[in-house]
Chain A
Amino acid sequence: DGGITQSPKYLFRKEGQNVTLSCEQNLNHDAMYWYRQDPGQGLRLIYYSQIVNDFQKGDIAEGYSVSREKKESFPLTVTSAQKNPTAFYLCASSMTTGVRSEQFFGPGTRLTVL
């Protein structure tokens, strides 16, 4: 089955710790994305990557870092510099970043920082 997997589904961390969220896709998509969703808000773009070894900041990149060493994988690290990291994180992929390219989303990871 082709799709996007995110793990874990729920994650708890202490304040001040870095944490890495996993995102893997087997759809052979070039583009991958990370979004954050907070209650009552839409999806806000953190980072995106159009091809391997390349990525760009989205609207709210501060306190986050990513890597794209493999086409299938786009992990997101939430660093201690992120002031309000508790949120629902969604990873997505699409064939390209073209405007008509629909995105396929993973099931999300809910991060809670205690």
Chain B
Amino acid sequence: DQQVKQNSPSLSVQEGRISILNCDYTNSMFDYFLWYKKYPAEGPTFLISISSIKDKNEDGRFTVFLNKSAKHLSLHIVPSQPGDSAVYFCALPGMRFGAGTRLTVKP
């Protein structure tokens, strides 16, 4: 059973614009969420997290929004840069990862 879903396998945006990556989860008991970033042939690296007591967490160009009623997370990258091109994974407690969204930022 897929407890976390990233329905967009890929996203392409222009440099300088906003990138929005989405994640949906099924279990309302989850209270902590993480995003990881992965470059080809490398392991993922932790990017940003959010606790369910918040609806927003910001770290530089990266902001994660949490909508608990909709069981939905989104990661916003503003402004997007070519170096942000990578696969982004949404992760839940219990070592559960989404399928990932491949972001391509075009110069």
* Residues of A near any B CB (own CB < 8 A): 4, 6, 9, 33, 35, 40-45, 48, 58, 90-92, 97, 99-100, 102-108, 110
User: CA separation between A97 and B94, bound complex, in Å?
Assistant: 8
User: What is the distance, in angstroms, from B22's C-beta to the closest C-beta of chain A?
Assistant: 14
The one of A35, A48, A99, A104 in contact with B93, judged by C-beta atoms closer than 8 angstroms, is A99
Chain A residues positioned under 8 Å from B51 (CB to CB): 100
* Residues of B near any A CB (own CB < 8 A): 4, 6, 9, 31-32, 34, 36, 41-46, 49, 51, 89, 93-100
- With A43-B89, A58-B95, A99-B94 given, is the CB distance from A107 to B32 under 8 Å? no
User: A100 and B9: CB pair below 8 A?
Assistant: no
Using a Cβ cutoff of 8 Å, how many contacts connect chains A and B? Answer: 58
User: CA separation between A41 and B5, bound complex, in Å?
Assistant: 10
Chain B residues positioned under 8 Å from A44 (CB to CB): 97
Q: Which 3 A-B pairs have the closest CB atoms?
A: A105-B43, A99-B93, A102-B46
Q: Does more than half of chain B's interface fall in helix, strand or loop, or is it mixed? A: loop
A/B interface sample: 20 pairs, CB < 8 A: A6-B43, A9-B41, A40-B9, A40-B99, A42-B4, A42-B6, A42-B97, A43-B44, A45-B96, A58-B95, A91-B43, A99-B32, A100-B51, A102-B34, A102-B49, A105-B42, A106-B43, A107-B43, A108-B41, A108-B42
User: B32 and A105: CB pair below 8 A?
Assistant: no
Chain A residues positioned under 8 Å from B41 (CB to CB): 9, 107-108, 110
User: B99 and A33: CB pair below 8 A?
Assistant: no
- With A33-B95, A48-B95 given, is the CB distance from A42 to B46 under 8 Å? no
The one of A6, A41, A90, A100 in contact with B99, judged by C-beta atoms closer than 8 angstroms, is A41
Most B CB atoms within 10 A — which of A40, A90, A102, A104? A102
Instruction: Give the nearest-CB partner of A102 in chain B.
Output: B46
User: What is the distance, in angstroms, from B14's C-beta to the closest C-beta of chain A?
Assistant: 25
User: CA separation between A33 and B42, bound complex, in Å?
Assistant: 16
